[in-house]
Amino acid sequence: MKETTTIDTNLEDQIQILNGKLDIVIEELNFQRNRREQVEDLMKDVSLIGKDLFETAVNRLDKAGIEINGYDLERLVLKIARNVKTFNILLDTIESGNDLFKDLSPVIRQIGLDLINTLHNLEEKGYFIFFREIGNIIDKIITHFTIDDLKSLADNIVTILETIKNLTQPDMLKAINNALAVYKNLDTENIKEISMLKALRMMNTKDGKKAMGFIMTFLINVAKNSEQNKLSIN
């Protein structure tokens, strides 16, 4: 009798375990069925949306007078499929460029700040005003002189530069400076009149004779140089 009771108990336990497992299986089947139904509903919705989008696109293309050939569309899809690797490389390049830009952003920002500070310092020192005034000078030169004046300047630029070169020699600068210093000290508004007799007397002095010698020597050398220049031109 004990053995029969034990067997019945074991059988009931096994049945309960089996029922528990069946419940789990049934629950899983229900879950899978619900999931499948959700996927089917989603596919239906996507299909409807895709169909609607396709019809809208076709209508808009038709209104725009654009015709799409099925063969061309197929070729486009095949080309896209064949170049998936290329698209991936392009996207990787874009991502790398984006990362590089992020890395360089602080550097670019610092360069911008340095440039702004530099421009501010130049403005405070008056560089911009200086360049603006130079522009005004150039504008006045251009508006004052004609094309013929520029051509004449070009023809004589060598002579002009040679003259400037000679004027910038130390001895010439010293002589010019001495002449300017003497002229500066002269009272040009109150110069006394000198008679011919007094002029002759002044010329007969030591300083007067030196002055006459300087003037004559200068004029003679100018005449010689003029003759030499004429001969060289001919």
pLDDT tens-digit series, residues 30-63: 888 888 888 788 778 777 787 777 777 767 766 7
Question: Please, are residues 153 and 160 in contact by the beta-carbon 8 Å criterion?
Answer: yes
Cα(11)–Cα(9) distance, integer angstroms = 5
CB count within 10 Å of CB 122 equals: 13
Cα(105)–Cα(113) distance, integer angstroms = 12
Of 186, 206, 202, 184, give the one whose Cα is nearest residue 194. 202
Looking up tokens 């830009």 gives 101
Question: Please, are residues 130 and 136 in contact by the beta-carbon 8 Å criterion?
Answer: no
Alpha helices in the chain (DSSP H): 2-63, 70-82, 84-125, 127-144, 147-155, 157-167, 170-185, 196-203, 206-233
Residue 168 has pLDDT above 70, yes or no: yes
Give pLDDT, residue 5: 60
Long-range contacts of 191-194 (CB under 8 A, 24+ apart): none
Domain layout of the chain by residue ranges: 1-67, 69-144, 147-191, 196-234
Tell me the three state secondary structure of residue 146.
coil
Looking up tokens 């419940």 gives 23
Please give the radius of gyration of the chain, using alpha carbons only, rounded to the nearest integer.
53
Instruction: Provide the pLDDT confidence category of residue 69 given band limits of 50, 70 and 90.
Output: low
CB count within 10 Å of CB 152 equals: 12
CA 186 to chain CA mean position, Å: 58
Residue 163 has pLDDT above 80, yes or no: yes
CA 178-184-186 angle, 5° bins: 105
pLDDT tens-digit series, residues 178-232: 888 877 877 777 777 778 888 788 888 888 888 888 888 888 887 777 777 666 6
Task: State the chain's maximal CA–CA distance in angstroms.
Answer: 178
Report the residue count for the chain: 234
Cα(175)–Cα(218) distance, integer angstroms = 14
Question: Please, are residues 132 and 139 in contact by the beta-carbon 8 Å criterion?
Answer: no
Cα(192)–Cα(199) distance, integer angstroms = 12
Give pLDDT, residue 45: 78
pLDDT tens-digit series, residues 86-140: 888 888 888 888 888 888 888 888 888 888 888 888 888 888 888 888 888 888 8
